[in-house]
Amino acid sequence: MLVMKKKVPVKYNDFFYGSRKLEQTSIMPSLTYKERFGKLDFMGIVSYKVWNKKFGEEDASGNDTYENAPGTLFDSDLQTLTSDLQLGMDVGSTHYLTVGSFYRNDEYTRDTYELEYFRSLGSKTEHQFIIRGKEALYAFYFQNQWDIIKGLTVYTGLRWDNWKAYNGKSGKTGAVVGVKDYDENHLSPKLAVVWQAGDNTYLRSSVANSFRGPTISELLKENKR
């Protein structure tokens, strides 16, 4: 009788969480400005984020150990610019209306390298894979706060999002190909009710719809195959 033996690949990460080497840095300056112009309340927020993440995963074979296993380095960079501008004003004695616009722009890069030793991020050798891409989100929204009676407030709102992904490319080094641009629109309604049942007791109920486009990493990772 012929007996077939099968090997199951086992990695340190399957048992020892934290064995991977990780380096991460993030810088995010931001500016917030609030002012009242007559009956109008204005708030503006602008921020810029620079984020880098490097981590190594081991690719051990049967003869490798924790001290000498080779690996793969994933080196990612993300730059994000966001702005949020709002205007608010009283409409009559029971309504407060807020209108605003939101903008976000992301530029993402990811490079994959072979590592001589998976816990030494400086031991990278062959450049294996590349991801590049940008995305932008434009949104306009409004909300009406309606104080129906004392202690009972209803919030209604609507938001329109336009999401775009562009200048994408992905692939193995030497065989990088461009990826088609993506564009999607979405309309999101919102309804919420807040009842102040007591001095320190609030009952809240809400129903809403929201939209989130995929990140560049989520959008392009399948192209590794």
Where do the H-state alpha helices sit in the chain? 216-220
pLDDT in tens, 50-101: 999 998 888 877 677 778 888 899 999 999 999 999 999 999 999 999 999 9
- CATH of residue 73's domain is 2.40.170.20
| Residue 197 in domain | yes
CA distances from 49 to 43, 52, 80, 108, 131 (A): 20, 10, 5, 12, 19
CA distance 81 to 51: 12
For the cut 60, the answer to whether the pLDDT of residue 14 exceeds it is no
Residue 39 burial by CB count (10 A; 0-12/13-18/19+): exposed, middle or buried?
exposed
Q: Which domain holds residue 158?
A: 13-224
| Residue 3 in domain | no
pLDDT in tens, 141-185: 999 999 999 889 999 999 999 999 999 999 999 899 998 999 999
pTM of the model: 0.81
Written as six digits, the tokens of 216 are 């560049």
Q: What is the mean pLDDT of the segment spanning 37-41?
A: 95
**What local confidence, expressed as pLDDT, does residue 199 receive?**
83
